[in-house]
Amino acid sequence: MSPTKTTQVTLPNGVTIPVVPAEFAKETAETRRLRDSAAKAGARAAAEALAKGIPVTIMRDGVLVRINPDRSETVIGAQA
C-alpha cells in the first residue's frame, strides 16, 4: 500500500485538516482502542452479512478474496 500524497483535506464546512499517513501516526492508547473497536465492528458486520446469506469480500495478504455464506472462498485477484 503506498502512502498518500495528500497533505491536507478541506471539509465541506471549509475547515482544513492535515493528513497523516497511518505508518507515521503516533501509536497511542486511543489509537489502539480505535483500531481494536474497528476490528471488532468489521468482524461483527462480516458475520452478520454471512448469516444473512450475503458474501463478504476481504483483502488477505494482498489478495482479494470473496467469502461465501457457506464459508467457501473465491480468489478474486491480487492487489496491484
51-60 pLDDT, tens digit per residue, is 999 999 988 8
Structural domains of the chain, count: 1
17 part of a folded domain: no
pTM: 0.58
pLDDT band at 22; cut points 50, 70, 90: low
In a domain, 1, yes or no: no
- Domain contains 4: no
For residue 21, which of 8, 37, 38, 35 has the smallest C-alpha distance?
A: 8
47 found inside a domain: yes
In a domain, 2, yes or no: no
The grid cell for 46 is 462480516
Higher pLDDT, 1 or 26: 26
Query: What pLDDT is stored for residue 68 in this prediction?
Result: 95
Q: Is residue 20 part of a domain?
A: no
Q: What is the mean pLDDT of residues 21-32?
A: 77
Residue 32 lies in a domain: yes
What is the extent of the structural domain holding 38?
A: 27-78
Please give the helix or strand (H or E) that residue 34 lies within, else none. Answer: helix 29-51
Q: Quick one: pLDDT at residue 41?
A: 94
C-alpha cell at 7: 497533505
Tell me, yes or no, whether 65 lies in a domain.
yes
